[in-house]
Amino acid sequence: MVKASKPKAGSLAFYPRKRARRIYPRIKTYPESEKPRVLGFAGYKAGMVSVILVDNRKNSPTFGQEIAVPATVLDCPPLKIVGIRAYEETKKGLRVFTECWSKNLPKDLERKVKLKPNEENLKKIEENLKKISKIRLIVCTQPRISGIGKKKPEVFEVEVGGKDSKEKFEFAKSLLGKEVSLKDVFREGEFVDVIAVTKGKGTAGPVKRFGVKIQRRKAHGKERHVGTLGQERPGKVRHTVPMAGQLGFQTRTELNKRILKIGESGKDITPKGGFVRYGIVKSNYVILEGSVPGPKKRLIMLRPAIRPGKIKFLPVEIKEISG
């Protein structure tokens, strides 16, 4: 008789499976860039649409034909550059050297954190550029412009690309106090990585959490549980044993999502009555090929593809977009 077996359900790559620290993630790793540019952006997930486009992938069986592709719409109002933070390399890793805040801070930023402008620290950074290894922009979102219907902005860091610290600093200095739109960072046809906190599903049992087989009716005790918690020796339960616990609300990264379209007017993409459980996209938006982790209204982080394939840019020819 053939032995009934299958690979273990549930990956151990994500342990410990606990809740994310906050509802929007931080980008831990950035790709290298020789040109000075902003290496990240963020937008609110509005909903999904169906895009009819011409398939221009050469090895595809539908090459040259019109195909329907599921796509995700992100509401992307411009980001406000409120500060610059400089890092120096130490034996224990990166350490904050200093930071400076813009003079014209938005009023809504007080809902999140109270700050005092200190552009004097720009001189301190400029005098110690030899010590500094990385420069990041401190940005805040503008949810009032979006259709999410809230006032308190999110504040996070975005790294600046460039050859050396001087080039990065001059580029960051030119952006301080200004707005950066999506078109300043990405272009249509480019591949990006998506980082977000997934939908939270609370506490779940081992069957739903790991795909454990349900026990037979005559099983001793419960049915929706693992048959054994482990071997007799060592006398402890290992962390690899599928058990009940937190499911969802965890930071996940999906690689190489193609940008199908970047628009400036949300009226072009919003269906009649608005997106369900979101509303009306009022400002800039981006359409990404495929799905994106997280529920609607959640802030989604975008960065240039850190692990691109052979094709780093693939132009798009869109025929129709339907909600």
Shared domain for 196 and 302, answered yes or no, is yes
Shared domain for 115 and 250, answered yes or no, is no
Identify whether 304 is part of a domain: yes
Identify whether 237 is part of a domain: no
Identify whether 170 is part of a domain: yes
Q: Does 180 score more than 90 pLDDT?
A: yes
The overall average pLDDT reported for the chain is 92
Identify whether 319 is part of a domain: yes
Give the model confidence (pLDDT) of 181-206 as tens digits: 999 999 999 999 999 999 999 999 99
User: To which H or E segment does residue 219 belong?
Assistant: none
Shared domain for 149 and 106, answered yes or no, is yes
Identify whether 259 is part of a domain: yes
What is residue 23's DSSP assignment? S
| pLDDT at residue 269 in the model | 93
Give the model confidence (pLDDT) of 263-316 as tens digits: 999 999 999 999 999 999 999 999 999 999 999 999 999 999 999 988 889 999
Pick from 180, 201, 220: which residue ends a domain? 180
Identify whether 169 is part of a domain: yes
Identify whether 305 is part of a domain: yes
Enumerate residues 6+ apart whose C-beta is below 8 A from 304.
Answer: 31, 33, 39, 186, 190, 191, 192, 193
Shared domain for 63 and 107, answered yes or no, is no
| pLDDT at residue 136 in the model | 97
Share of the chain above pLDDT 90, in %: 77
Question: Tokens 């009022």 correspond to what residue?
Answer: 282
CATH number at residue 90: 3.30.1430.10
Shared domain for 47 and 115, answered yes or no, is no
Name the nearest CA neighbour of 269 among 67, 44, 77, 48: 48
Shared domain for 146 and 283, answered yes or no, is no
Name the nearest CA neighbour of 53 among 258, 274, 265: 258
Give the model confidence (pLDDT) of 210-241 as tens digits: 888 999 988 878 899 988 899 999 899 988 89
| pLDDT at residue 12 in the model | 72
CATH number at residue 270: 2.40.30.10
Give the model confidence (pLDDT) of 242-263 as tens digits: 999 999 999 999 999 999 999 9
Give the model confidence (pLDDT) of 44-84 as tens digits: 999 999 999 999 999 899 999 999 999 999 999 999 999 99
Give the model confidence (pLDDT) of 8-17 as tens digits: 766 777 888 8
Pick from 160, 180, 200: which residue ends a domain? 180
Question: Tokens 């049915």 correspond to what residue?
Answer: 223
Say if residues 193 and 41 touch (Cβ distance below 8 Å).
no
Shared domain for 84 and 63, answered yes or no, is no
Enumerate residues 6+ apart whose C-beta is below 8 A from 146.
Answer: 44, 75, 77, 281, 282, 283
Question: Tokens 């798009």 correspond to what residue?
Answer: 316
Shared domain for 60 and 112, answered yes or no, is no
Shared domain for 251 and 301, answered yes or no, is yes
Shared domain for 155 and 202, answered yes or no, is no
| pLDDT at residue 1 in the model | 60
Shared domain for 198 and 57, answered yes or no, is yes
pLDDT category, 4, cuts 50, 70, 90?
Answer: confident
Shared domain for 301 and 321, answered yes or no, is yes
Q: Does 91 score more than 90 pLDDT?
A: yes
Task: Count the neighbouring beta carbons within 10 Å of the beta carbon of residue 179.
Answer: 13
Structural domains counted in the chain: 2
Own/partner pairs for 16-20, CB < 8 Å, 24+ apart?
16/239, 17/209, 17/245, 17/246, 17/247, 17/250, 18/246, 18/250, 19/200, 19/246, 19/249, 19/250, 20/197, 20/249, 20/250, 20/251
- Residue 179 tokens read as 């707005």
Total count of residues recorded for the chain? 323
Give the model confidence (pLDDT) of 118-147 as tens digits: 878 899 999 999 999 999 999 999 999 999
Identify whether 312 is part of a domain: yes
| pLDDT at residue 15 in the model | 83
Pick from 162, 180, 198: which residue ends a domain? 180
- Containing structural domain, residue 313: 12-28+41-77+187-209+242-323
